[in-house]
């Protein structure tokens, strides 16, 4: 069989010496890790072009106890089997696709439950689906609205084995069928997003235009099709993730220096964007205040 059109990009994505894209940033992660530590595993080599990682989250909380979890999400689609997640509009036991959120992602954990998920590389799910990413932005839908029924059935059959390797083995046999559906136009978009994710100095669309060699109009069209949000929002999201990660790591930088390093106009600009997305000011987050009341 001739090589697929996207195969030329695989070595760059799977090279163990290359910096991996950062995960979504859990807000105040130490609190969540005490109750529901996440587990994850890399995909098999064949699926590495499409999948960033598989992940598992399970919890068993005492009666009447709730944990408000919050996340600054990455710009990826997730395919999940959720049991008791408590997300509004999601059945108790369901296989769903969650699009790219444009704001902080909140979920309240209670009782007993689990989520088994696959995090696609940015734009990859739209590259194997007839559904454009923009149609899923800020939405969660049943998986069979987006992907072949066989994929949904494989996830529905998976339960929480306590071992990410077992989950990977269960679902990857179905996911392999997606490889022949890849739209080759996605490859350049993924490479652009990866550059943004791993280069904190990339802070403007003008710089992205220079690095990709594409026009701003082309980037806007491609990002809407595959990622679901504009290049400007992608850049802003990753720089906000960098800010959250720095504060969680208890950086010695002043907020003014942090703002300058990440390409915000000034400290006030960082504060406005951080507050709009995270829910509280960076100074309050640094002090350990909860992001939700």
CA atoms within 13 A on the CB side of 40: 13
CB atoms within 10 A of CB 130: 8
Q: What's the number of domains the chain is made of? A: 2
Q: How far apart are CA 46 and CA 99, in angstroms?
A: 24
Picking from 147, 180, 213, the residue at the C-terminal end of a domain is 180
Which residue's structure tokens are 């439950």? 113
| Confidence at residue 64, expressed as pLDDT on a 0 to 100 scale | 77
Q: Is residue 293 part of a domain?
A: no
Q: Is residue 291 part of a domain?
A: no
Residues 14 and 104 in one domain: yes
Q: Is residue 3 part of a domain?
A: no
Run of H or E including 195: helix 186-198
Which residue's structure tokens are 């494989």? 154
| Confidence at residue 18, expressed as pLDDT on a 0 to 100 scale | 35
Q: Is residue 223 part of a domain?
A: yes
Instruction: Return all residues near 42 (Cβ < 8 A) that are at least 6 apart.
Output: 48, 53, 54
Report the first-to-last Cα separation within the chain, whole angstroms. 56
Residues 38 and 95 in one domain: yes
Residues 81 and 194 in one domain: no
Residues 206 and 244 in one domain: yes
| Confidence at residue 34, expressed as pLDDT on a 0 to 100 scale | 57
If 0-12 CB within 10 Å is exposed, 13-18 middle and 19+ buried, where does residue 189 land? buried
Residues 158 and 254 in one domain: no
Residues 279 and 197 in one domain: yes
- State the sign of the Cα–Cα–Cα–Cα dihedral 230, 234, 235, 237: positive
Instruction: Return all residues near 235 (Cβ < 8 A) that are at least 6 apart.
Output: 196, 202, 203, 204, 205, 208, 263
Residues 158 and 262 in one domain: no
| Confidence at residue 36, expressed as pLDDT on a 0 to 100 scale | 57
Residues 139 and 224 in one domain: no
| Confidence at residue 33, expressed as pLDDT on a 0 to 100 scale | 55
Low-confidence ranges of the chain (pLDDT < 50): 1-27
Q: Is residue 126 part of a domain?
A: yes
Q: How far apart are CA 203 and CA 190, in angstroms?
A: 17
Residues 240 and 130 in one domain: no
Residues 172 and 207 in one domain: no
Q: Is residue 263 part of a domain?
A: yes
| Confidence at residue 37, expressed as pLDDT on a 0 to 100 scale | 66
Contact 100, 229 (CB under 8 A): yes
What proportion of the chain, given as a percentage, has pLDDT over 70?
87
Q: Is residue 4 part of a domain?
A: no
Contact 80, 114 (CB under 8 A): no
Token pair of 125 as six digits: 């799910």
| Confidence at residue 162, expressed as pLDDT on a 0 to 100 scale | 77
Residues 80 and 215 in one domain: no
pTM for this predicted structure: 0.81
Q: In what order do the strands lie in the sheet with 39-41?
A: 39-41, 51-60, 112-120, 78-83, 93-98, 140-142
Residues 117 and 210 in one domain: no
| Confidence at residue 2, expressed as pLDDT on a 0 to 100 scale | 33
CB atoms within 10 A of CB 215: 10
Contact 200, 262 (CB under 8 A): yes
Helices (H) and strands (E) in the chain, counts: 12, 9
Q: Is residue 292 part of a domain?
A: no
Picking from 161, 180, 199, the residue at the C-terminal end of a domain is 180
Q: Domain residues for 211?
A: 186-286
Picking from 180, 211, 238, the residue at the C-terminal end of a domain is 180
Q: How far is CA 74 from the centre of its chain?
A: 3
| Confidence at residue 19, expressed as pLDDT on a 0 to 100 scale | 38
What CATH number does residue 263 fall under?
1.10.10.60
């Amino acid at each position: 069989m001739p090589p697929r059109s996207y195969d030329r990009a695989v070595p760059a994505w799977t090279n163990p010496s290359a910096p991996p894209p950062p995960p979504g940033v859990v807000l105040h992660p130490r609190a969540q890790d005490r109750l529901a530590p996440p587990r994850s595993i890399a995909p098999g080599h064949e699926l590495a072009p499409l999948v960033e990682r598989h992940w598992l989250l399970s919890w068993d909380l005492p009666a009447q106890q709730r944990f408000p979890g919050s996340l600054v999400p990455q710009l990826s689609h997730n395919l999940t089997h959720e049991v008791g997640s408590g997300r509004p509009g999601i059945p108790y036991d369901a296989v769903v696709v969650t699009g790219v959120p444009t704001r902080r992602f909140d979920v309240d954990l209670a009782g007993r439950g689990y989520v088994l998920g696959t995090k696609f590389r940015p734009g990859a799910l739209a590259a194997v689906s007839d559904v454009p990413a923009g149609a899923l932005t800020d939405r969660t839908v049943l998986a069979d609205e987006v992907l072949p029924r066989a994929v949904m059935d494989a996830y529905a059959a998976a339960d929480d084995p306590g071992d990410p390797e077992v989950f990977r083995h269960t679902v990857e046999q179905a996911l392999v069928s997606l490889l022949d559906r890849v739209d080759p136009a996605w490859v350049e978009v993924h490479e652009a997003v990866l550059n943004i994710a791993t280069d904190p100095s990339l802070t403007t669309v003008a710089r992205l235009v220079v690095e990709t060699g594409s026009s701003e109009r082309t980037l806007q069209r491609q990002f809407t099709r595959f990622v679901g949000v504009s290049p400007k929002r992608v850049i802003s999201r990753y720089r906000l993730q960098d800010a959250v990660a720095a504060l969680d790591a208890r950086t010695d930088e002043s907020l003014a220096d942090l703002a300058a390093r990440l390409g915000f106009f000034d400290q006030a600009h960082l504060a406005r964007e951080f507050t709009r997305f995270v829910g509280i000011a960076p100074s309050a987050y640094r002090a350990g205040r909860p992001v939700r009341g």
